[in-house]
């Protein structure tokens, strides 16, 4: 009998291999697969953060869109906190702070995602507080 967990692990390893070899980008991975394993996002961000700010922002955009879409997909709602943790980590620990592209991205993050990020327990409010203010969200 096929072990579903083993199959899932092998698919994730294969995806990560393709990400590392730059044969696949985060946006190319189907939503249904991406959202079920936050390690896929982590691997993508490890690569994009050293690649370029533009690619990093593209991956952030995919992540924010996925978080937003989870509100409309009850089958995967339990993965939202993991994705919010990834978003919080990437916004606070990236090497692109002060980059123009990142600034434009932060201004375009949907208010709903910022609210969810604010409400997430692991948020680093000191860094993101200014962005919340720009969107009229009280801390």
At 100-116, the pLDDT tens digits run 998 899 889 998 998 88
For residue 59, what are the CA distances in angstroms to 13, 25, 66, 107? Answer: 19, 8, 11, 16
Domain that residue 41 falls in:
4-109
Q: At 113, is the secondary structure helix, strand, or coil?
A: helix
pLDDT at residue 73 in the model: 82
From the CB of residue 139, how many other CB atoms can be counted at a distance below 10 Å?
10
Whether 115 is covered by a domain: the verdict is no
Specify if 53 maps to a domain: yes
Domain assignment present for 103: yes
Asked whether residue 121 is assigned to any structural domain, the reply reads: no
> Which pair of structure tokens corresponds to residue 106?
């932060």
| Residue 65 domain-assigned (yes or no) | yes
- Lowest-confidence region among 15-19, 23-27, 82-86, 129-133: 129-133
pTM of the model: 0.83
| 136 in any annotated domain | no
Q: How many CB atoms lie within 10 A of CB 70?
A: 20
Residue 116 maps to a domain: no
Note whether residue 124 is domain-resident.
no
Q: How many independent structural domains does the chain possess? A: 1
């Amino acid at each position: 009998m096929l072990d579903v967990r083993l199959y899932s692990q092998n698919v994730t390893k294969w995806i990560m291999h393709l990400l590392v070899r730059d044969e696949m980008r985060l946006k190319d991975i189907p939503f249904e697969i991406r959202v079920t394993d936050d390690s896929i996002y982590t691997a993508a961000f490890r690569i994009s953060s050293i690649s370029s700010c533009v690619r990093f922002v593209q991956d952030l955009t995919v992540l924010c869109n996925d978080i937003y879409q989870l509100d409309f997909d009850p089958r995967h709602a339990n993965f939202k906190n993991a994705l919010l943790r990834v978003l919080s980590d990437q916004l606070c620990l990236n090497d692109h702070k002060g980059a123009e592209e990142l600034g434009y991205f932060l201004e375009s993050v949907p208010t709903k995602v910022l609210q969810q990020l604010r409400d997430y327990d692991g948020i680093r409010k000191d860094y993101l507080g200014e962005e919340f203010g720009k969107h009229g969200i009280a801390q």
